[in-house]
């Protein structure tokens, strides 16, 4: 039976060194809880770094055994790995880049090498456990290369990836020297998840621009499969927080804490030490509130918990010093003997105390400058079982997309934050309740278990979709069936599209001329069969490129035909009425003027607007505009507007490749027919084929053809076999 493997940089435990022995402390983090339902079942397992370096082989063996009982397997990292891969590339290159802090980005090739090396280490560790049909779910930015590394070794495995931090705009991604490798690493997965729609659209745009893979409605079309990219906002274990807040233990802590702060209004803030969390800005906003509203002195204080993190990294050390200074300043300025504006804790608290802080606070001030999701704000809402309290939430946190009933602020607008706190302090209980109830309902419904379920369902869905598309794959069996039928045939014929079928796409279409390999394939084939090159290209280009070959040519989607038997010239296969061209050309020219890189190609029966060389994005936009403009014009002239590969073509609807192919076969009997093509114009050919023909579409799009084939390379392999 196939199993599921969860992979993350850190295992959901921490490994501590105590008195010469190692101790494990299970993590109660949200992810560990959510995924508990998966990795604790059957043969499933969680693979990751236990969070401490262990060099001694005996100790390693002991740890492996103990973790085995907890359904985990360790990946051991050396001190150097930790410094270069984790603290280095992950936290000094990817973390700042993905959170839009480009000023902190470090470009260190040694760190990059370590990143590759450690991703490989993870890959090896997984391969020791994984079977070819297993499901592997990789988590987060430390392991971006892993999906593709796994794909190469386990081509049929189900591989998913989820990114917990933001995915920034292409403008940031392009700054990273290793951007292409990183994106190619990620697209090894079948399903790629982010917290928000913005993250996914940034990712799709970067993939399109950097790797050239195109996408539609969240599906990336890779060479041999489709990949789904979607947004899955992560939830929390709602009941755990709600129940804990109601518990006797937490309520007794609340009473004890309350005695000390009396009836002051409390603002809670909880973050890991990180520049993305906007901690200094928040203290400054609070200072400004106290400066502007003297009446609040002695009546409101802020409980600020900062959890120690990454304190070996220089920028974090500096951040800690800045916070210490700001808190020192505000407290020294405003404190009285019985009031302290900021209760500042640089440490973490046990869960019951954390719950007490959430439960007793009137306001949660969650103002990151950038955050993938942010779970603290959700935990506060779940803990407010009294249904009072106000959440002030940064627009820059992924959670703000879901929690529209929070008071949303821009963390860079200090006065805006000050006003939000001031208004929250006087918000009427009825309004507090209305907002809280609505947020609680949503968080209850979309909790972490639902998140896991929806993600896994989607993974199954994309695998089924891939299956459906590859069920018509030209595999070894089909290949040999075609070969046998071809060898047996007395009179075979092949209809071969050119661009995207016999040769790949290039930036300048004029440069796509046949290479030596292709020439020899066609030569061998045409010695054994009728070969018809059936293309949308103009007759002169096609005529020149195939001058010395013994083939029939159909140009401009069936307008012109040149038969090898009739030694003469091109024959017109369709009546051409081109009075419409002037009007349409004028419109197209206007769009060329507005769009650097675009150009018009005039064919006998059609006009084509090319945008392959236009700035990515702009080309698409202009094409859509032109499309609707032309569609309107087309009706009057009885024309058809068609979208192709980086082209928009307008033509007479009755002229197509299918019509021309049928005409070629008219007076003859063929006992083997093969048609291969890659786009919508070839669908006409496929439709026109008799039942016994083999029709093959290149790529995994839905098609009228009987089969799909992976790539141009495979088409050539098939044709070379037939010709040999
Ligand atoms: C990354 C992304 C995304 C904090 N202090 C204490 C404590 N905590 C717990 C909180 C919360 C967690 O730590 C922090 O979670 P966040 O989501 O706020 O932030 P990151 O750790 O940066 O997580 C983030 C997340 O991944 C999930 O995808 O939301 O955007 O950056 O659960 O409760 N727990 C205890 N004591 C503390 O003092 N017990």
CATH code for the domain of 274: 3.40.50.2000
401 CA → ligand 1 middle, Å: 18
Atom of ligand 1 nearest to the CA of 28: 39
Yes or no: say if 13 and 28 are a contact pair by the CB < 8 Å rule.
Answer: no
Answer yes or no: is 447 within a domain. Answer: no
- pTM of this prediction? 0.86
Atom of ligand 1 nearest to the CA of 349: 38
Contacts 24+ apart (CB under 8 A), 239-247: 239/447, 240/33, 241/355, 241/358, 241/379, 241/382, 241/383, 242/382, 242/383, 242/385, 244/351, 244/352, 244/355, 244/383, 245/355, 245/358, 245/359, 245/382, 245/383, 245/384, 245/385, 246/385, 247/352, 247/355
Confidence of residue 39 (pLDDT cuts 50, 70, 90): confident
665 in the same domain as 688 = yes
Answer yes or no: is 462 within a domain. Answer: no
Q: What is the 3-state secondary structure (H, E, C) of 112-164?
A: HHHHHHHHHHHHHHHHHHCCCCCEEEEECHHHCCHHHHHHHHCCCCEEEEECC
627 in the same domain as 547 = no
Atom of ligand 1 nearest to the CA of 166: 30
pLDDT of residue 2: 87
How far from 227 is each of 126, 166, 275, 709, CA to CA, in Å? 22, 20, 34, 17
Which residues constitute the domain of residue 506?
476-574+655-723
Q: Which of 355, 374, 443 to mutate to test the pocket of ligand 1 (most atoms within 8 A of CB)?
A: 374
DSSP 91: I
377 CA → ligand 1 middle, Å: 10
pLDDT of residue 703: 85
Asked whether the predicted pLDDT for residue 493 surpasses 70, the reply is yes
**177, 207, 231 - which closes a domain:** 231
pLDDT of residue 203: 98
Break the chain down into helix, strand, coil percent, rounded to 5.
50, 20, 35
* C-alpha–C-alpha distance, residues 134 and 514, integer Å: 42
Q: How many alpha carbons fall within 13 Å on the CB side of residue 167? A: 30
Answer yes or no: is 297 within a domain. Answer: yes
Answer yes or no: is 470 within a domain. Answer: no
How far from 554 is each of 536, 670, 689, 693, CA to CA, in Å? 8, 18, 16, 19
Ramachandran angles phi, psi of 384, nearest 5°? -85, 70
Residue that has been written with the tokens 């709600």 in this structure: 242
**623, 651, 679 - which closes a domain:** 651
pLDDT, tens digit, for every residue of 48-74? 999 888 888 998 999 999 999 999 999
- Mean pLDDT over 330-359 rounds to 96
* Share of residues in the chain with pLDDT > 70 (%): 99
pLDDT of residue 626: 94
266 in the same domain as 306 = yes
How far from 657 is each of 278, 489, 556, 686, CA to CA, in Å? 61, 24, 8, 9
261 in the same domain as 194 = no
**Which residue, by CA, sits nearest to atom 33 of ligand 1?**
376
186 CA → ligand 1 middle, Å: 24
* C-alpha–C-alpha distance, residues 341 and 364, integer Å: 15
Mean pLDDT for all residues in the chain: 93
Return the closest-CA partner of residue 151 out of 409, 466, 428, 442. Answer: 466
Yes or no: say if 7 and 137 are a contact pair by the CB < 8 Å rule.
Answer: yes
pLDDT, tens digit, for every residue of 622-662? 999 999 999 888 888 888 898 888 899 998 888 889 999 99
226 in the same domain as 243 = no
pLDDT, tens digit, for every residue of 495-531? 999 999 999 877 777 888 999 999 999 999 999 999 9
Q: What is the 3-state secondary structure (H, E, C) of 566-634?
A: CCCCCEECCCCCCCCHHHHHHHHHHHHHCCCCCEEEECCCEEEEECCCCCCCHHHHHHHHHHHHHHHHH
249 in the same domain as 224 = no
Q: Kindly name the residue from 81, 134, 190, 497 that is annotated as catalytic.
A: 497
Confidence of residue 576 (pLDDT cuts 50, 70, 90): low
Contacts of 159 (CB under 8 A, 6+ apart): 135, 136, 137, 138, 147, 150, 151, 188, 189, 190
Atom of ligand 1 nearest to the CA of 375: 17
**Which residue, by CA, sits nearest to atom 26 of ligand 1?**
164
Atom of ligand 1 nearest to the CA of 31: 27
375 CA → ligand 1 middle, Å: 6
687 in the same domain as 568 = yes
329 in the same domain as 270 = yes
Answer yes or no: is 449 within a domain. Answer: no
**Which residue, by CA, sits nearest to atom 7 of ligand 1?**
348
Residues with CB under 6 A from ligand 1: 30, 164-165, 234, 270, 272, 305, 307, 348-349, 351, 354, 371-376, 379
Answer yes or no: is 457 within a domain. Answer: no
Number of domains in the chain: 4
Tell me whether residue 497 is one of the annotated catalytic residues: yes
Residue that has been written with the tokens 């309350």 in this structure: 258
108 in the same domain as 251 = no
243 in the same domain as 370 = yes
**Which residue, by CA, sits nearest to atom 36 of ligand 1?**
349
156 in the same domain as 10 = yes
The burial of 221, by beta-carbon neighbours within 10 Å (0-12 exposed, 13-18 middle, 19 or more buried), is given as middle
**Which residue, by CA, sits nearest to atom 28 of ligand 1?**
164
564 CA → ligand 1 middle, Å: 72
Asked whether the predicted pLDDT for residue 312 surpasses 80, the reply is no
344 CA → ligand 1 middle, Å: 18
Residue 214 has which token pair?
Answer: 């195109």
Yes or no: say if 394 and 278 are a contact pair by the CB < 8 Å rule.
Answer: yes
**621, 651, 681 - which closes a domain:** 651
DSSP 691: T
């Amino acid at each position: 039976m196939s199993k599921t493997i969860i992979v993350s940089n850190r295992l959901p435990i921490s490994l501590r060194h105590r008195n010469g022995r190692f101790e494990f402390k299970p993590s109660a983090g949200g992810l560990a809880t959510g995924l508990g339902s998966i990795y604790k079942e059957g043969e499933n397992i969680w693979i990751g770094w236990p969070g401490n370096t262990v060099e001694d082989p005996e100790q390693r063996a002991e740890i492996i055994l103990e973790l085995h009982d907890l359904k985990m397997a360790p990946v051991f990292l050396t001190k150097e790995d930790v410094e270069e891969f984790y603290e280095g590339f992950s936290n000094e290159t990817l973390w700042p880049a993905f959170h839009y802090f480009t000023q902190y980005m470090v470009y260190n090739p040694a760190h990059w090498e370590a990143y590759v090396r450690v991703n490989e280490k993870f890959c090896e560790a997984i391969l020791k456990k994984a079977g070819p049909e297993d499901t592997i779910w990789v988590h987060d930015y430390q392991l971006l290369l892993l999906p593709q590394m796994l794909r190469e070794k386990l081509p049929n495995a189900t591989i998913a990836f989820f990114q917990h931090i933001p995915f920034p705009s292409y403008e940031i991604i392009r700054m990273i020297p290793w951007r292409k490798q990183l994106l190619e690493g990620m697209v090894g997965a079948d399903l790629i998840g982010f917290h928000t729609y913005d993250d996914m659209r940034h990712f799709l745009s970067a993939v399109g621009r950097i790797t050239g893979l195109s996408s539609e409605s969240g599906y990336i079309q890779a060479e041999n499969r489709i990949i789904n990219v979607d947004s899955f906002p992560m939830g929390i274990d709602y009941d755990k927080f709600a129940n804990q807040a109601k518990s006797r233990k937490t309520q007794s802590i609340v009473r004890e804490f309350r005695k000390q702060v009396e009836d002051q209004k409390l603002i809670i803030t909880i973050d890991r030490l990180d520049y993305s969390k906007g901690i200094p800005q928040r203290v400054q906003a609070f200072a400004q509130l106290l400066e502007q509203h003297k009446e609040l002195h002695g009546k409101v204080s802020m409980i600020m918990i900062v959890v120690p993190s990454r304190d070996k990294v220089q920028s974090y050390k500096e951040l800690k010093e800045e916070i210490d200074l700001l808190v020192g300043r505000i407290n020294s300025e405003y404190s009285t003997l019985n009031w302290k504006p900021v209760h500042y804790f640089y440490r973490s608290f046990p869960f019951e105390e954390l719950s007490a802080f959430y439960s007793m606070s009137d306001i949660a001030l969650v103002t990151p400058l950038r955050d993938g999701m942010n779970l603290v704000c959700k935990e506060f809402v779940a803990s407010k079982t009294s249904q009072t309290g106000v959440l002030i939430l940064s627009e820059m946190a992924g959670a703000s997309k879901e929690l529209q009933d929070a008071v949303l602020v821009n963390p860079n607008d200090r006065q805006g934050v000050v006003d939000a706190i001031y208004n929250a302090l006087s918000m009427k209980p009825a309004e507090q309740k209305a907002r809280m109830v609505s947020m609680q309902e949503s968080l209850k419904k979309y909790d972490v278990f639902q998140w896991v379920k929806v993600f896994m369902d989607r993974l199954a869905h994309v695998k089924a979709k891939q299956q459906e598309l590859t069920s018509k794959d030209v595999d070894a069996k089909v290949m040999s069936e075609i070969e046998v039928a071809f060898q047996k045939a007395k009179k075979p014929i092949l209809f071969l599209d050119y661009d995207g079928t016999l040769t790949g796409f290039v930036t300048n279409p004029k440069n796509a001329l046949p290479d030596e390999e292709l020439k020899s394939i066609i030569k061998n084939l045409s010695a054994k069969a009728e070969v018809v090159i059936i293309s949308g290209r103009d007759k002169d280009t096609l005529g020149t490129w195939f001058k010395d070959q013994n083939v029939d040519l159909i140009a401009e989607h069936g307008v012109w035909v040149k038969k090898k038997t009739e030694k003469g010239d091109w024959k017109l296969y369709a009546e051409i009425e081109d009075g419409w061209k002037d009007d349409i050309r004028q419109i197209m020219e206007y769009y060329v003027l507005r769009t650097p890189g675009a150009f018009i190609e005039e064919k006998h029966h059609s006009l084509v607007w090319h945008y392959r060389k236009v700035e990515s994005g702009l080309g698409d936009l202009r094409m859509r505009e032109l499309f609707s403009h032309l569609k309107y014009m087309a009706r009057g002239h009885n024309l058809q507007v068609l979208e192709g590969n980086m082209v928009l073509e307008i033509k007479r609807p009755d002229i197509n490749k299918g019509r021309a192919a049928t005409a070629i076969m008219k007076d003859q009997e063929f006992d083997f027919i093969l048609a291969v093509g890659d786009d919508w114009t070839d669908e006409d050919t496929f439709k026109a084929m008799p039942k016994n023909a083999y029709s093959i579409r290149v790529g995994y799009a839905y098609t009228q053809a009987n089969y799909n084939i992976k790539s141009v390379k495979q088409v050539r392999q098939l044709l070379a076999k037939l010709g040999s």
